[in-house]
Amino acid sequence: MHPTSPVDVKLRTVGELTEVMLNVGFQGRKLAEAVEVWTRMVKENVTIFMGLSGAMVPAGMRKLIAFLIQHKLIDCLVSTGANVFHDCHEALGNSHYVGTHKVNDVELGKLGIDRIYDIFAYEQKFEATDWIVNDFAMTLSAKSYSSAEFMRLLGEHVEKVGGASDSIIVSAYKHDIPLFVPALCDSSIGLSLYLAKLSGKDVLIDHIEDIRQITDIVRGSESSGVIYIGGGVPKNFIQQTAMAIKIASGGDEEYGHNYAIQFTTDSPQWGGLSGCTFEEAVSWGKVRERAQKVQVFVDATIALPIVVHAIAENLGLSKDI
Identify each DSSP E strand in 68-175 by its residue range. 76-79, 97-98, 113-116, 119-122, 144-145
Residues 168, 174: Cα–Cα separation, whole Å: 10
Residues 199, 196: Cα–Cα separation, whole Å: 5
Residues 264, 262: Cα–Cα separation, whole Å: 6
Tally of CB atoms within 10 A around 89: 25
Q: Tell me if residue 286 is catalytic.
A: yes
**Whole-number Cα distances in Å, 233 to 76, 123, 276:** 15, 26, 13
Structural element, H or E, at residue 243: helix 241-248
**Whole-number Cα distances in Å, 75 to 71, 88, 176, 217, 315:** 10, 21, 9, 10, 16
Among candidate residues 188, 196, 237, 161, the one with its CA nearest the CA of residue 86: 188
Cα-to-chain-centroid distance, residue 139? 28
DSSP string, 158-223: HHHHH--TT-HHHHHHHTT--EE-TTTTSSHHHHHHHHHHHTT---EE-HHHHHHHHHHHHHT-SS
Tally of CB atoms within 10 A around 227: 25
CB 118 within 8 A of CB 99: yes
Provide the greatest CA pair distance for the chain. Answer: 68
Task: Please pick, among 235, 286, 293, 319, the residue that the annotation labels catalytic.
Answer: 286
Contact residues for 61 (Cβ-Cβ < 8 A; gap 6+):
300, 301, 304, 305
Angle made by CA atoms 284, 29, 57, in degrees to the nearest 5: 70
Active site residues: 286
